[in-house]
Structure 1
Amino acid sequence: MRSILFLLITLSLFHSANSKSMLLLKRGASISVEGNTFITSPDNSFTCGFYGLGSNAYWFAIWFTNSKERTVVWTANRDKPVNSQGSRVSIRRDGTMVLTDVDRSIVWQTNTRTTDVSAAELLNTGNLVLKNPRGDILWQSFDVPTDTLLPSQILTKDKRLIASFRKGSFESGYFNLYFGSNNVLSLITDSPQISSLYWPNPDYDVYTSGRTNYNGSRLAVLDDMGLLQSSDHFQANASDKGFGIKRRLTIDHDGNLRIYSLINSTGLWTITWQAISQPCQVHGACGSNGICVYAQKPKCICTPGYEVNDPSDWNAGCKPTFNQTLLNSKVKFLELSQTDYFGSDLYYKPNFTLKACQELCRRDSACKGFTYRTWGNGHCYVKNDLFNGFQSPDFPGSVYIKLPRSVKVSKPSIFNGSSTTCESREIEIPVGSPSMYAFARRTVRWVYLYSFCAALGALELIFILLGRWFLLRKHGVPTSVEAGYCMISSQFRRFNYAELKKITNNFREELGRGGSGTVYKGSLADDRLVAVKRLGDVFQAEDEFLAEIGTIGKINHMNLVRMWGFCSEGRHRLLVYEFVDNMSLDKHLFNSNFLGWKQRYAVALGTAKGLAHLHHECLEWVIHCDVKPENILLDNEFQPKIADFGLAKLSRRDGPGSEITRIRGTKGYRAPEWALNHPITAKVDIYGYGVVVLEMIKGVKFSYWVVDDADDQETPLKNLSWTVKEKAQCGNSSWVESIVDPRLKGKFSRKQAATLIQIGLSCVEEDRRKRPTMASVVQTLMECEDETEIKVLDKLELIY
């Protein structure tokens, strides 16, 4: 065994020793698969060379050197891999870079036709370029993108990103990002069956989507800060916006467009923005005759009466299990409620009855089904193709699948279950029968039974609609929140109470407790550690719990604790979070195991980024209402993650519910407006953040000095503010040192400390109108993050 291990180590070292890297591939030179030679960027961020998959397939590619899986961002021959033996890339004397296969046939080549090319070089941006002796770029890989756009790479009107066909492959798929004929940056599926736009939302016009088609330049770029912007007025920010992070914009195999950020410590990628929040809205995700549904995570199923063409490729859709000529004889209709298919409408008939719509489809041999939307007087959409269906609890209608009566179909399991899931039933329409009640005498008894069941169903439907109306009226919660948690998304799952008891060993190890509940340590079956929060009585209302879960489950940011699941069973309400290694900030601030200055500044910046995401970037404007060190957790790199967000009332931005009034928060971190019964806005979080920042600077917990008298609660902060102003105005150059935690022994940045004191004092202003926004705080801290030391600060100009 030892000899085998020694041999493997020796071979590994031999392989590493024989791999060669170069900064330039000069004209006349070449690299081959066997040669194990690569071109690297000067900063070693990117590598270019032969990339292998499987046993004998290689691509000439560029990838991130430091990503764990060597993530590829460009391939020259994405649809035609070459052989491991004899394949090579060379720069010929005519200046053309050529990729040849084992038989020396040309697989790919650049369009350069000049003998002035001197060498190929891989830049720090990930751009492979051909240069002349003067350094001019004659050709670049940035001009021929595949599925990825790198920062500073420009997507122009004559270029497009094309997704890979499937996960783990490079071949071209059906999803595209490009400027469409309306001059708008768009996502489109372009399959052999159909071409269909799905982003921006085709149900809205260009201007409603916030775009403009007066866009002659047609340019889009992702910059080094994480800002994606297009000349059609589209803009999007990575949630970790800022310099110094490796990012990429990729159109994935599932048709979604995402910004990824690289975590240096692990080499893994995290999603920091995506275009489509609901995966089933991607047209073509399940192909013809397929339906995209949510069952803990999005998945494809075939329309009843159809079977999948290729289980490994849902783009190929499903095929009928019956002879389609039978649709011209006796047929029946299968109803799938809250389900529809994108496009393919033969007819649209407004103010139409369900019976008339059925008859219209039955008589038309081209009709494969119809959608009946139930708002107003009823709307009939007759379909000539069942292309990429989707299920949504917000869809006000049903689709009726046309099938031969002889075909036996079973109800898909996804449509079974509680009243919040879609139900399906068959509706038979005998050919030539003017009425569905024209049965033979022996079947009359069934009519009464059906009628009785229909009456009960109608009553149940009325109660459901009234309940949803009341929920919407009282809480402003969309029906997708009420109904969506049996199909919530791939980000987290629903646990039952017995599972959580087992995971936590009967709630044995308590991590902490607070006003909203108690947290226990647990371990999932895959050995991932979790924190399970058992919520208090205040959360027993089902509608409130589901509404809050609906918002929390959609939030994803590197400085916010990620939720992995939930439980709503009887009186039990529990949340399952990721486990954060280094406990809360207070454990590393107010005792002997205290953080250094660099870590404190990083915590201040990361916490500000997390709150800014909640306040400015979430679909729902989330107010935390209890910002304090105990709710700021630290991961294994001491990066902050805000916990317990979303457990307060939610407030829509600029809407009638933009203020809340329920008292929350912790004494010492609670803004003055709580006690004064003023409307509560995001400014309460800014106040709490200011207290936390000042506590980090001084290393002292202000809440120790807080008494029950509201007028006295802010005395320590008032004293600190008065001291700072007095010393600054008197020209005391040592005022910063007199405030910063003496345990640091002077090892801190004076400029950063002054900036944090500025921010902290402005955040705890009594007049909330004078407090800054979290977005402006982030900007100020980021500008100071790459600081230059100053020795004396003569005057502090407070931010008001």
Structure 2
Amino acid sequence: MRNQTLKFLYLFFLAITLSLFHSANSKSLLRLKRGASISVEGNNFITSPDDSFTCGFYAMPGSKAYWFAIWFTNSKDKTVVWTANRDRPVNSQGSRISIQGADGTMVLTDVDGSIIWQTNTRKSDVSAAELLNTGNLVLKNQRGDILWQSFEVPTDTILPSQILTKDKRLTSSLRKGSFESGYFNLYFGSDNVLWLINDSPETSSLYWPNPDFDIHTNKRTNYNSSRIAFLDDMGMFRSSDKLQANASDKGFGIKRRLTIDHDGNLRICSLIISTGLWMITWQAISQPCKVHGVCGTNGICVYAPTPKCICTPGYEMNDPSDWIAGCKPTFKEALLSSPAFAYKTWGSGHCYVKSDLFNGYMSPDFPGSVYIKLPRRVQVSKPSIFHGSSTMCESREAEILVGSPSMYDITRRTARWGYIYSFCGALGAIELLFIVLCWWFLFMKHSVPASVEDGCRMISNQFRRFNYAELKKATNNFREELGSGGSGVVYKGVLADDRVVAVKRLGDVFQGQDEFWAEMTTVGKINHINLVRMWGFCSEGRHRLLVYEYVDNMSLDKHLFYLNFLGWKQRFAVALGTAKGLAYLHHECLEWIIHCDVKPENILLDIEFQPKIADFGLAKLSRRDSPGSEISRIRGTKGYMAPEWALNHPITAKVDVYGYGVVVLEMIKGVKLANWVVDDAEDQEIPLKNLCRQVKEKVQCGNSSWVESIVDPRLEGKFNRIQAETLIQIGLSCVEEDRSKRPTMASFEWYFVKFLKHRALLNGLPRSKLSRIRQMWKA
């Protein structure tokens, strides 16, 4: 034991010595002067004054290649936001960056002295290079004028205060873990609209905004020729074509970036200061398979349940480690004319000839079929990923190819067109016969044969429809119960693909199949880090079941009101995450959703104790522009219900604000409202009124320790007083009887910052400290 202790101490002091040695040999510069240089071996860097950004030589783990780059200093993986030589890395020895004394040009040279990159300026009055707090690397003269800046030559990222104009574009990396330029681009087209485009060697294809709709349907405009886009300090991304996107954590004091990732999606990411990790707070495309060419040529993007790539039947991967390379045929025969065509049915049949198999993805909403030409000798089977899950008779097959008709070989054109017309006519006759058969079996109350049912079933995707038998098998005949509530009982289950799920067996909440289908398919499109993900549902006969992701640490009440209670940091994170989830439901998702039953039992905690709101799919769905709500079937839980329920007033999102306020106050107090001192157990509002009265009395009396008297004593004083005081004020504002006085969930952060500013000024804190306080709120 003694030897082990000595060995540990030796290793500990050795690590400290090496760390000190490394620190002693590394040097941070605020500016690189003219005539000076930084070598790749020198371990010197340029840092921004606030140490948010670092500029210097950067190497991928395990690589001897280096890039001159800018990265976030405090991110865990040193996230790079700009590279000078993304496609031409330099050697790990002998390479250097310098500002030439002759003409003031910043030059990157390799080990042999060859110029790899240089600024496009030759200014005799260049004084030095500096890295600003915004992450912008600039060349300045003695007067402080900017003569060149990295913001003018972006790579795949723009930062707050950086402007994307008509002559600039963001280009993704080729693959994860690479700086090499990829094929996905964000730029303004000649029509003044900001587009995402796949510009690969084989083809060029627009995919965002939705190319199937016109500009105005996509809520854009092409009338403004200024062509400017930017991400501001609040987390709002705006462009001159009327695009506006908001980060889910909108507010000041957060480090953010807008990046076009290697998968072709455009995302706003926010840095979590406490962990150094990134959180996606907005993304342009909610369904990753809608990105054109994400699986390369002859590849198909599917949900299983997360996005993955497979090859078209009869094809195999070109490079087993890289889907960008796509798939190649397993046969050697050359296919004359088109290799495939799509047959769509929009009231009448339409054939689209395909010469290239590109932009493939699976969709259950595609009203048609795709046929692929293969040599007769090639025997292929349908990939196992294509399996039906619906008992409804619908003429839908997976969409393998999307886009406009491709050009094809014009030799023997007449014969081929005659063949295609004949084939399409035959297909139309078969489809008409198929519709008649479906009508016969449905309306004459005969059971549908298995062969017909297999041809009609909806292909499963990330959100799918299950049948009752497979959920019964997954839950082992509903054996392991996780919990129950007014809407039904929840069971633990394991699906055929080994996903652990929670299956909720509903009572009589929903009656009609059409209503259930419409509401659940809408909810299935919703995805937020603070909402429990719904994988699918079952509506079969009298059975109504919902399939959710399984959340490891059960509900908030299990960790709040018992001996194994949450610490303050975890409670604070739950309060913030729950607010973000509700704000998304109320203001950001496609459908305006009121939860109607916000309580600790409906807030689940994942393995890292981050909150996920459950059961939001049981609330009434209505559009934002609806004049009012007509919710009457679903009621809240006693103690968390807003007064307007009892008064029969129209129900708005403010009922969720009320429930959230009660939850926040319970987290602060550490006990159920029903456990507080009450005068009349029949009056459900007395505990809440008691707390409001206690707080007001203590504040009016100038009691300096009023916060400590309210906060859960089990914390033994281990909490942040500013955060606690703020949460108490927010909680009390949320439980106002007059709903017009309650804040909205979207204004939650604004309310907090306003309150902090007021308290800071009262306590004599300078305004310069407010940014630090905001960071404390976000930590």
TM class by shorter chain equals: 0.7 to 0.9
- Identify which of 23, 26, 34 aligns with 2:30: 23
Evaluate the alpha carbon distance shift between residue 710 and residue 154 of structure 1 in structure 2; reply closer, same or farther with a 3 A threshold: farther
1:66 partnered with 2:82: no
Between stretches 259-268 and 641-650, larger displacement belongs to 641-650
Between stretches 697-706 and 138-147, larger displacement belongs to 697-706
1:296-695 correspondence runs (5 A)? 296-321=305-330, 327=336, 365=337, 367-405=338-376, 407-418=378-389, 422=397, 459-460=437-438, 483=458, 485-488=460-463, 507=480, 514-516=485-487, 532=502, 535=505, 537=507, 550=521, 554-558=525-529, 560-563=530-533, 575-580=548-553, 584=556, 588=560, 606-632=577-603, 641-654=612-625, 659-675=630-646, 680-692=651-663
Q: State the distance in 2 between where 1:434 and 1:757 align.
A: 68
State the one-letter code of the partner of 2:71.
Answer: W
- Identify which of 258, 279, 282 aligns with 2:288: 279
Query: TM-score w.r.t. structure 2 length?
Result: 0.76
Q: Does the CA-based 8 Å contact 2:99-2:107 persist in structure 1?
A: yes
CA-based RMSD = 4.9
Which residue of the partner structure matches residue 145 of structure 1? 154
Q: State the distance in 2 between where 1:453 and 1:660 align.
A: 42
Structure 2: where are the runs of 5+ without partners? 401-415, 424-428, 446-456, 764-779
Between stretches 410-419 and 268-277, larger displacement belongs to 410-419
Q: Does the CA-based 8 Å contact 1:175-1:255 persist in structure 2?
A: yes
1:267 partnered with 2:276: yes
1:187 partnered with 2:158: no
Evaluate the alpha carbon distance shift between residue 189 and residue 658 of structure 1 in structure 2; reply closer, same or farther with a 3 A threshold: farther
State the one-letter code of the partner of 1:459.
Answer: L
Q: Does the CA-based 8 Å contact 1:590-1:701 persist in structure 2?
A: no
Evaluate the alpha carbon distance shift between residue 607 and residue 736 of structure 1 in structure 2; reply closer, same or farther with a 3 A threshold: farther
Q: State the distance in 2 between where 1:534 and 1:610 align.
A: 21
Q: State the distance in 2 between where 1:135 and 1:688 align.
A: 54
Which residue of the partner structure matches residue 33 of structure 1? 40
Which residue of the partner structure matches residue 99 of structure 1? 108
Q: Secondary structure at the match of 1:314?
A: strand
Evaluate the alpha carbon distance shift between residue 182 and residue 430 of structure 1 in structure 2; reply closer, same or farther with a 3 A threshold: closer
Q: Does the CA-based 8 Å contact 1:736-1:754 persist in structure 2?
A: no
Evaluate the alpha carbon distance shift between residue 34 and residue 681 of structure 1 in structure 2; reply closer, same or farther with a 3 A threshold: same
What is the CA-CA distance between 1:99 and the residue it aligns to? Answer: 0.6
Which residue of the partner structure matches residue 53 of structure 2? 46
1:73-222 correspondence runs (5 A)? 73-93=81-101, 94-222=103-231
Q: State the distance in 1 between where 2:642 and 2:307 align.
A: 42
Evaluate the alpha carbon distance shift between residue 564 and residue 36 of structure 1 in structure 2; reply closer, same or farther with a 3 A threshold: farther
Q: Secondary structure at the match of 2:584?
A: helix
Q: State the distance in 1 between where 2:501 and 2:322 align.
A: 37
State the one-letter code of the partner of 2:733.
Answer: I
Between stretches 278-287 and 222-231, larger displacement belongs to 278-287
State the one-letter code of the partner of 2:653.
Answer: A
Q: State the distance in 2 between where 1:706 and 1:459 align.
A: 68
Q: State the distance in 1 between where 2:340 and 2:214 align.
A: 27
What is the CA-CA distance between 1:75 and the residue it aligns to? Answer: 0.7
State the one-letter code of the partner of 1:286.
Answer: C
State the one-letter code of the partner of 2:437.
Answer: L
Q: Secondary structure at the match of 2:660?
A: helix
What is the CA-CA distance between 1:149 and the residue it aligns to? Answer: 1.0
Q: Does the CA-based 8 Å contact 1:651-1:660 persist in structure 2?
A: no
- Identical residues among aligned pairs (%): 66
What is the CA-CA distance between 1:497 and the residue it aligns to? Answer: 7.0
Between stretches 260-269 and 713-722, larger displacement belongs to 713-722
Deviations 1:630-653 (A, max 9, x none): 444678998755444334343343
Which residue of the partner structure matches residue 242 of structure 1? 251
Q: State the distance in 1 between where 2:665 and 2:419 align.
A: 81
What is the CA-CA distance between 1:281 and the residue it aligns to? Answer: 1.4
Q: State the distance in 2 between where 1:633 and 1:736 align.
A: 36
Number of residues paired by the alignment? 705
What is the CA-CA distance between 1:50 and the residue it aligns to? Answer: 1.2
What is the CA-CA distance between 1:321 and the residue it aligns to? Answer: 4.8
Q: State the distance in 2 between where 1:561 and 1:759 align.
A: 24
Q: State the distance in 1 between where 2:609 and 2:341 align.
A: 56
1:706-745 correspondence runs (5 A)? 712-714=683-685, 733-734=700-701, 742-743=709-710
Which residue of the partner structure matches residue 777 of structure 2? none
Deviations 1:468-514 (A, max 9, x none): xxxxxxxxxxxxxx94654449xxxx997777779x9x859x6x654
Deviations 1:619-669 (A, max 9, x none): 232221111244446789987554443343433433599543213321122
Q: State the distance in 1 between where 2:11 and 2:572 align.
A: 46
Evaluate the alpha carbon distance shift between residue 8 and residue 182 of structure 1 in structure 2; reply closer, same or farther with a 3 A threshold: farther
Between stretches 314-323 and 227-236, larger displacement belongs to 314-323
What is the CA-CA distance between 1:171 and the residue it aligns to? Answer: 0.6
Q: Secondary structure at the match of 1:250?
A: strand
What is the CA-CA distance between 1:139 and the residue it aligns to? Answer: 1.3
What is the CA-CA distance between 1:679 and the residue it aligns to? Answer: 5.2
Q: State the distance in 1 between where 2:52 and 2:444 align.
A: 58
What is the CA-CA distance between 1:614 and the residue it aligns to? Answer: 1.0
Deviations 1:494-544 (A, max 9, x none): 997777779x9x859x6x6544566799999xx99x995755545798988
Q: State the distance in 1 between where 2:565 and 2:398 align.
A: 58
Q: State the distance in 2 between where 1:158 and 1:618 align.
A: 32
What is the CA-CA distance between 1:44 and the residue it aligns to? Answer: 2.1
Structure 1: where are the runs of 5+ without partners? 328-364, 437-450, 468-481, 793-800
State the one-letter code of the partner of 1:264.
Answer: I
What is the CA-CA distance between 1:148 and the residue it aligns to? Answer: 0.8
Q: State the distance in 1 between where 2:65 and 2:340 align.
A: 44
Q: Does the CA-based 8 Å contact 2:553-2:609 persist in structure 1?
A: no
Deviations 1:424-445 (A, max 9, x none): 99xxx99989989xxxxxxxxx
What is the CA-CA distance between 1:78 and the residue it aligns to? Answer: 0.3
Q: Secondary structure at the match of 2:373?
A: strand
Between stretches 30-39 and 530-539, larger displacement belongs to 530-539
- Identify which of 734, 748, 752 aligns with 1:760: 734
What is the CA-CA distance between 1:313 and the residue it aligns to? Answer: 3.8
State the one-letter code of the partner of 1:660.
Answer: I
State the one-letter code of the partner of 1:58.
Answer: Y
